[in-house]
Amino acid sequence: MPLVDPRNRWQRLGWAVPWLLFQVFPIADLVSTSRPLLVQVAAAGGLIAFTVVYLGIFGDAFGERRDWPRAPLAVVAVLGVGLAVWLGPAWAGLMIYISAAASVGLPQRWVWPAVLGAAGVCAAVLATHGVLGDVFILPVMCVLTAFALRGMRQLVSVNAELVVAREELARNAVAEERMRFARDLHDLLGHSLSLIALKSELAGRLAERDPARARQEMADVESAARRALAEVRDAVSGYRQVSLAQSLVEARSALRAAGIALKAPPPAPPLPGPVDAVLGWVLREATTNVLRHSGARSVTVAFAAAEDAVELTVSDDGRGGDAAAGAGLSGLAERVAAVGGRLAHGPNPGGGFRLAVAVPLTGAVAAGCVPAADVAAP
C-alpha cells in the first residue's frame, strides 16, 4: 500500500476551513435563542457531528480513491437538512456545506442535482419563515460554492496529471540516458578491444621471429588500452569527443595491423561538431565490423561534401551479407537520425559489405555551428 503524505490531507482540510465562517449564524442562534436545554444540547451535538463529518469528507477529497464517500455524504445531508428545517433560517446556511461536500465527494453526474437540491431546501426554509427576500444570497451561495469547488477539483486533478506526466518524463529521460551511455560504451570499447585483441595476437605470432616488431605491436596495445581508458573516463564525465580525422587515424592503424589495405580520402574540410562526431562514429563502427566479421583484404573510405550535405561510404571486399547489422549499427542509426541523416548498409554490388551515411549541413550552418564558407567540397 503506497504511503500517503500527511501534509496533503491537512492542505485539503485547509480548503474547507474558510467555509466554516458561515457557522457563525447557527452558533449565534444557538447562544442567543431561548430553547429547552435538551433542544440546545441536541442542536449543539448535531452541529458538531455535522462539522466533523464535513471536514472528514474534505480530508479524503482529491485523493487517489475511486469510490465516493456515500455514508459521510448521507450523514452531512441528513444532519444539515434536519437542523435547517427544525431550527429555522439561521441554520439554512448549512446547505452551503452540503453543496461543498457534494462538489468534492460526488461523481460529476450527481453533483449538480445535489447542489440544486441543497439550494432548493435552503430557499424553502427561508421562504417558510418569510425571510427569503432578505437573505436570498444563501441559495445563490450554494450554487456559487459548488462552482468554486468544482473548479478547484478540476485544477487539482490537472495538477496531479501534470505531476504524473513529469515523473514519467523523468523516468524516460533516465532510461534514454542509460541507453545512450550503453551505446557509447559499446562503440568505444568494441573498437578499442578489437584493436587490442588483434595486435596482441599479432605480437604473439611475431614474438620469436621478429622480437622488435612484437615489442612495437605490444607498445601499440598499451597505447590503445590507455586511449580506451581515457575515452571511457571521458564518456563517464560526459566530455567524450570523437572526430572523423581521429577515427581515420585509428582505422588506418588497426587495419594495417590486421594486414588489411586502406584507401582513404585526404583530410575532410572543417565540419560542424555534431556532424564530425557522427561521421567519426560511423567510421569507427565500420572499422570494428571489418575487423570482427568481414575477412576483408581491403577497405575503401569515400567522402563527399556539398554545400548542404556530406556523405561518407565505407566498403570492403570481404564476405559481404548483412551479418554485421547488430547492436553497433542500431546505435549508429540512432546517432545519424539525431542529426537528421540517413544510414544505409548491406552487401556491396561488387562483393563485400558497404556502409553509407548522408548527413545534412543546412541545419548546422543555420544554427551557427560552422561558417557556411567552411563547408566546401574537398
Residue 199 lies in a domain: no
Question: Does the structure show a pLDDT above 80 at 297?
Answer: yes
CATH of the domain at 365: 3.30.565.10
Better pLDDT: 64 or 103: 103
Residue 125 lies in a domain: yes
Residue 45 lies in a domain: yes
pLDDT of 4: 39
- 224-245 tens-digit pLDDT: 888 877 777 666 655 556 788 8
252 and 142 assigned to the same domain: no
Count the neighbouring beta carbons within 10 Å of the beta carbon of residue 25: 17
161 and 283 assigned to the same domain: no
Q: Is the dihedral of CA 218, 220, 225, 230 positive or negative?
A: positive
pTM over 0.85: no
Picking from 144, 167, 190, the residue at the C-terminal end of a domain is 167
148 and 20 assigned to the same domain: yes
Instruction: Please give the residue range of the domain that contains residue 79.
Output: 6-167
Picking from 149, 167, 185, the residue at the C-terminal end of a domain is 167
Picking from 130, 146, 167, the residue at the C-terminal end of a domain is 167
- 102-132 tens-digit pLDDT: 888 788 788 888 889 989 999 999 998 888 8
The mean pLDDT of 69-77, rounded to a whole number, is 85
151 and 287 assigned to the same domain: no
151 and 246 assigned to the same domain: no
13 and 142 assigned to the same domain: yes
